[in-house]
Structure 1
Amino acid sequence: MSLDVAAIRDQFPILKREIDGKPLIYLDNAATTQKPQCVIDALVEYYSHYNSNVHRGAHRLADEATRKFEGARDIIQHFINAPKREEVIWTSGTTEAINIVAHGLTSLLSNNDEVIVTGMEHHANIVTWQQACKASGATLYIVPVTDSGELDLDVYVSLLSERTKMVALPHVSNSLGTVNPIKWVTQKAKQFDAWVLVDGAQGIAHGNVDVQDIGCDFYAFSGHKIYGPMGIGVLWGKESLLSQWPVWQTGGEMIATVSLQDATWNVLPYRLEAGTPNVGDAIALGEAIRWFSALDSAAVQAHEEALIARATELAEGFEGLRVIGTAPQKIGAFSFVFEGGHPADIGFLLDKQGVAVRTGDHCAQPLMARFGVPGTARMSFSIYNTLEEVDAAFDALKKVHMMLA
């Protein structure tokens, strides 16, 4: 089944916009994806027709909001093949989800324990573990990145030991697009009874995510990376862990009983969801997942692979252009630098031609240091991008190169 990209594009209002009289070519999808009309409508419908707090109301609006809110949780459960709906925890995004896990683990770690992360992490999945190890006395180890932008798996295996408590890594590198072998990494970690957290921010929208097949203990992602709103995300974790995990925040919703002297915690998922939830955005994320799930996943992956392949082809022989990250398994992101041209200048000049890209260190400063660059220009692709847009972006790059030469 082929992907009807034109029909998909028609569902995204923002793609009809022009920038300085030129059609928008939006290639910043690793930062955030655009939203189809059905997601926008779901959010507007909530605030227009049944805006209410959930779970405790005794009126019709509260009942409607609760059913939609919890229905969205069911959609997420089925999308990632979670065994139980109670394992789906609403968060503000991937960063909060990782912090929930790291905060809880800090109280469980000792100075005899070890945590493993990688050299390609987003800051949210390295700084968080740095702080957890500093607070607990545990040791943090880093899996290095090869010249092609892949994890050095031999080093990873050598780092594993009986002391390894947690392995945390990205499903897909936000900077390089490298797809990591997360199932294999998890299998190796489980030989030492270590827990595994997968940062799925970049992986969730690019392939089938099956947490049972992966075998990990935690999987985190943000709604805005998969056509949903900002400010909503998901932490999935195994019930056996989450039901005993030290709580992240206290307050309303997450309590079972409160006296003037003490309190007890609610059952899953609510024990890890303190305060008034982000009801509207959760419902809209559910709609985004429902919309995305209706697409043919094989066709989606084939189309995105074709976009990366075209960019790679056009980059070959492009004088002065250096691709950062050449792993054979890539998706979504394509990073590069120009000799003599700062990434910020590249982004500015592309924007003048209607091409939206991201520039900078992409919240991955250690990875930029590994490749000896201050940052990169990054094209990142989604299902609504076309091969013609990739061609047009490289035509624009040729003009940029001449300006910066």
Structure 2
Amino acid sequence: MATRKPLSHDDYTVGWICALPVEAAAGKAMLDDEHQPLRQEKHDHNKYTLGRVGCHNVVVTCLPAGVPGTNAAAIVATQMLRTFTQIRFCLMVGTGGGVPSHEHDIRLGDVAVGLSVVQYDFGKTVQGGKFHHTGLSNRPPYFLLAVVSELRAKHMLEGTDLSGHLSRAFEKYTKMAATFAFPGQEHDFIYESDFDHPEGLADCSQCDKQRLVPRSTRPVQEPIIHYGPIASGNQVMRHGATREKLRKQEGVVCFEMEAAGLVDVFPCLVVRGICNYCDSHKNQKWQPYAAVTAACFAKEFLSEIDAVHVQEVRTAADTTETFHAISRTQPQNTSFQTSSPLPLAESRQMHTGAYQLDSSSNSALADLSRLNNQKISNHAHGMAGDLSHLTPRKRQHRGSPVIV
């Protein structure tokens, strides 16, 4: 239920971005209180839900329906920061595909937290038509990684409270459990990476059970949190052999489609609930539960951050302006690298040619183009990139934000 007294735009310091409605619903369920909506900038076409998580005022938004990918995520974030100029960082919260290994016994419903993000479909086509991956790796800001370390240590001693957050959400939204409840371990299985799903079959009921990877049953239902690199690109990964190849090359724990559009521009932490294993056997059965486990972790993460500490961090908008200033002082990069599809990975771009960008989106894309040129230039010259957003700045005298 919305509170009576609306806050100002400057009172909101955390952005929460989702790609799908099911992810946005899970995010909204984590709000301790919901606030009244505020007036938006003329060219901001995002839809926002405003509320409080712990001591933080949070802005929740979702990508437009049917418009996934890294560019769409960056445009949504850019418009959000133009309306809510005091946002310090964003959380990209939703679902992704897990990459199990001997080090990470990843199961459906577990959570992957990105210690870095690799754009795996960024590279060039070389002699013989082979795709050479040159994707850049970017990390969240140090202050977010410090919170990750603190929370990780706390979980080692005390365990997580993800199930508690989920139970409280189900109590608040009584119809939610029918969609977001745990599907059951009997529906969690993974096939050998070189065994593709037979064409024409709607489910795995006729798949060769001899090709299943043997795994022990977990004694408890509580999701496990995995930390490591997350692979991001503009296509759905649905091929076990390609998944394994990139796991060996990059050590990734998860694949997703939006993060690469954010982390190289905005202060951002990526949180993904595991809903499939990036192979041809994937389905949507686990998507709601995975979305809500990721949202539960995001809520627990925010509970570890002090509101005063957040106020001492530079705004995300200031960080973006710093990148712009650097970009204008650098010579134009005349070499081009393209986002090219990996072999046997299914494209998820839908109706791209029919998607008309308004003036604000074109402006956002122009900004992102300049930032991308700088990113490529820095990579080519061995530069680590701009770290100015890690330095606390003296706050402007706008008054402390109100927490409702």
TM-score range, shorter chain: under 0.3
Give the TM-score, by structure 2 length: 0.24
More helix by share: 1
Pair member with larger Rg: 1
Q: Which has the higher contact order (CA 8 A, sep 6+)?
A: 2
